[in-house]
Chain A
Amino acid sequence: MATELLLSTHALHKSFGAVIASEALSLQVRRGEIHALIGPNGAGKTTVINQLAGELRPDAGSIEFDGRNITAYSVDRRARLGLARTFQVSTLFDQLTVTENLSLGVQAHLGHSYRFWQRAGEDPALLAPVSALLQRLDLGALAEQRAGSLAHGDRRRLDLAMALAGQPSMLLLDEPMAGTGPESSREIAALIASLKGHVTVLLVEHDMDVVFSIADTISVMVSGKCIASGSPDSVRADPLVRQAYLGEDH
């Protein structure tokens, strides 16, 4: 079922006063693909992510995820359904250690947390997945450091690791490489590419080399509207896109 849709939006509309951030937006993300959302600054990409994650409610239109209409679902309910996200500016628990940060990510998807006696720091049900994540994201050496003391690139990886902790079926990544050095960027890009086929990814990213090398599908947004959507080659060739976004000489 290579063409099965995991997430789709139908005529999504969102405006802030006179500014229209999303207009008749219909995105279709297939299961297992890496879908990049690109567009110039102010095109409304983050607003889309926030509507998909539930931080913002659309003014009109609907969002369907995994066969359900989730338009009215709260942020935490969407997350428990397997729709995870990272933030443009890493939002971590700065006073907690890397292990504790990841542990919370795992805990969120292990049923309720009305457990008052057993120490979370000694709970094998939390520690085993955490150590697997530490290894996978190459954070093992930093396990006992406070998140607040990490370097920027490490923060980005921890942010991503926390989103992956709940074994989501879909990840919303809002500029996961923003502000990182070239080496960190490469590592993160490789990591995202390695998710292909396991986790569906909707990626907002400005680095076009990364986008065109790892994305299966690219949607282009300009002023709240999706002007093109398709394979990297078709998007690259699209005259509208060339005119509006990539520039004639690209």
Chain B
Amino acid sequence: MTITGRKRLLCTAGAGLLIFLPALAGFGGEPFMVSLFSRILIYAIAAVSLDLLLGFGAMVSLGHAAFFGVGAYVVAILAFHASQGAPPDAGLLSLAGTNNALIAWPLAVMVSALVACVIGALSLRTSGIHFIMITLAFAQMLFYFFDSLQAYGGDDGLSIWRRNDLAGLDLADDTTFYYVCLTSLGIFLLLCRRLVQSRFGMVIRGCAQNEQRMRALGFPTYRYKLLCFAIAGAGAGLAGALIANQTEYVSPSLLHWTRSGELLVMVILGGMGTLIGPVFGAMTLLLGEDVLAMFTEHWQLYLGPFLVLIVLTTRRGVYGLLIGRGGHGD
């Protein structure tokens, strides 16, 4: 079978499995699987957005969880205000609350994109190892910001009373929520697929390979990379809005640098520069955690070598392995 054929088969099989997962889980008497897979889908969105930076733009960001966390906090703070009323002394943050997903989620996406714009504007003046360090530093600044934000729980985090209202859907129902996550991932993947093949996407790929030549051709590369960074931040913000709803709780740990590291692992493990790969990466990492944790509390001891093995022996991660382009040099 050709590579394209295998790709198509794999994606169809994966999509089919995800669509029928709630039914299968109900049938198999494991309803918690629906909740676990919602979590996987949400992390997959964040990982796919990071792949735009890592796999296509060669921008190794070690601060991507910041945008994830900001998106989550936007939803949580709005929900908090809706139930408690805005605190009178919150200054800039004294906005009216809402539980409406159609307002809260786009707002989460926009705020994350805006924060990404600011962080990107400064970080993109550097490259290579400096870029990694500066994105890490900004993300940690945001981590400590939320960690000390006493009005919203500080390091204890903030519980959300109930999930958002989305156009008459009952998000409290785990199966409904699962399908919202699945739809979000599907749409986001489609948008990213078109994006990387568009003129804009070609500019980003060109910058990744040879930025000097891109400038010599006449592209103001900084602006394009900054927009790419903001788009990736927006994607992570959407994932954050969903995770806040899924767990009905947000805490600074969502922004911690180890979370950014996990997202990087998902992208690299799944297959950088493939978009669909990070979905498999998120699935492998989170399922691996879950399954291994059933057998041993030292699950990380076993997961670590497994990750090393995948990364060392494959070129396009789990995805490359599945479509038969795993080996080096082909």
Contact B199 A115 (CB under 8 A): yes
Q: Is A92 an interface residue (CB 8 A)?
A: yes
Contact A108 B201 (CB under 8 A): no
Q: Give the residues from 68 to 100 in chain A that come closer than 8 angstroms, CB to CB, to chain B.
A: 74-77, 79-80, 84-85, 87, 91-96, 100
Contact A104 B202 (CB under 8 A): yes
In the bound complex, CA of A95 to CA of B221 (Å): 18
Min CB distance, B285 to chain A, in Å?
A: 27
Contact A115 B218 (CB under 8 A): no
Known contacts A92-B210, A116-B194, A119-B194; A76/B215 CB under 8 A: yes
Interface CB pairs A-B, < 8 A, 12? A79-B216, A79-B218, A80-B218, A91-B210, A92-B213, A104-B206, A104-B214, A116-B195, A120-B197, A120-B198, A162-B217, A165-B217
Min CB distance, A97 to chain B, in Å?
A: 11
Contact A93 B213 (CB under 8 A): yes
Q: Give the residues from 180 to 205 in chain B that come closer than 8 angstroms, CB to CB, to chain A.
A: 194-195, 197-203, 205
Give the residues in chain B near A162, CB-CB below 8 Å. 213, 217
Give the residues in chain A near B212, CB-CB below 8 Å. 55, 91
Contact A114 B221 (CB under 8 A): no
Q: Is B144 an interface residue (CB 8 A)?
A: no
Contact A76 B199 (CB under 8 A): no
In the bound complex, CA of A92 to CA of B210 (Å): 7
Q: Is A121 an interface residue (CB 8 A)?
A: yes
In the bound complex, CA of A79 to CA of B224 (Å): 17
Q: Report the interface size class on chain A.
A: 35 or more
Q: With CB as the reference atom, state the residue of chain A lying closest to B273.
A: A95
Min CB distance, A93 to chain B, in Å?
A: 5
Q: Which of B194, B200, B215, B217 has the most CB of A within 10 A?
A: B217
In the bound complex, CA of A126 to CA of B202 (Å): 12
Min CB distance, B315 to chain A, in Å?
A: 13
Give the residues in chain A near B213, CB-CB below 8 Å. 87, 91-93, 162
Q: Which of B199, B200, B201, B213 has the most CB of A within 10 A?
A: B199
Known contacts A96-B209, A114-B227; A104/B203 CB under 8 A: yes
Known contacts A91-B210, A116-B201; 9 additional CB pairs below 8 A are A76-B220, A85-B216, A91-B212, A92-B213, A95-B209, A96-B206, A108-B218, A120-B201, A120-B202
Min CB distance, A113 to chain B, in Å?
A: 4
Min CB distance, A170 to chain B, in Å?
A: 13
Give the residues in chain A near B218, CB-CB below 8 Å. 76-77, 79-80, 108-109, 166
Q: Give the residues from 211 to 244 in chain B that come closer than 8 angstroms, CB to CB, to chain A.
A: 212-221, 224, 227
- Interchain CB contact (< 8 A) of B217 among A100, A105, A115, A118: A105
Give the residues in chain A near B200, CB-CB below 8 Å. 113-116
Contact A93 B205 (CB under 8 A): yes
In the bound complex, CA of A80 to CA of B219 (Å): 8
Report A21-45 CB contacts with B as 1/0, cut-off 8 Å.
Answer: 0000000000000000000000000
In the bound complex, CA of A118 to CA of B183 (Å): 22
Give the residues in chain B near A85, CB-CB below 8 Å. 216
Q: Is A235 an interface residue (CB 8 A)?
A: no
Contact B216 A75 (CB under 8 A): yes
Min CB distance, A21 to chain B, in Å?
A: 19
Q: With CB as the reference atom, state the residue of chain A lying closest to B227.
A: A114
Give the residues in chain B near A165, CB-CB below 8 Å. 217
Q: With CB as the reference atom, state the residue of chain A lying closest to B231.
A: A116
In the bound complex, CA of A117 to CA of B194 (Å): 5
In the bound complex, CA of A59 to CA of B203 (Å): 32
In the bound complex, CA of A104 to CA of B198 (Å): 11
Contact B220 A74 (CB under 8 A): yes
Contact A108 B219 (CB under 8 A): yes
Min CB distance, A135 to chain B, in Å?
A: 21
In the bound complex, CA of A170 to CA of B249 (Å): 61
